[in-house]
Amino acid sequence: MPRSPLPPDQHADVEALAQAIREATAAEIDDLARTLVATADSHPFGATEFHVRALVHKIGAKALEQHLAQKKTATSGPV
């Protein structure tokens, strides 16, 4: 999906979401870095690849959770 420039009033929203994502995914990013550093250059695939892929999916899921959490309003649903 191509990125289009954001209006200036959305830059603060981008920064806030990016910070929330960083905080929510710090443990996964650390685990990702540890995994990559500990993996021998001759074995980047197999179990390592699947572990990295699982971590990246978890990071993506947490990013979406953070985005949706910021979108929630104070109104309640139908009663």
Delimit the domains of the chain by residue range. Answer: 26-69
pLDDT of residue 1: 60
Q: Residue 47 to residues 7, 39, 51, 55: CA-CA distances in angstroms?
A: 43, 10, 6, 12
pTM metric for this prediction = 0.77
pLDDT of residue 54: 97
Chain centre to alpha carbon of residue 68: 13
pLDDT of residue 64: 96
Per-residue pLDDT of the chain (79 residues; tens, 9 = 90+): 668 888 888 999 999 999 999 999 999 999 999 999 999 887 778 889 999 999 999 999 999 999 999 887 555 666 5
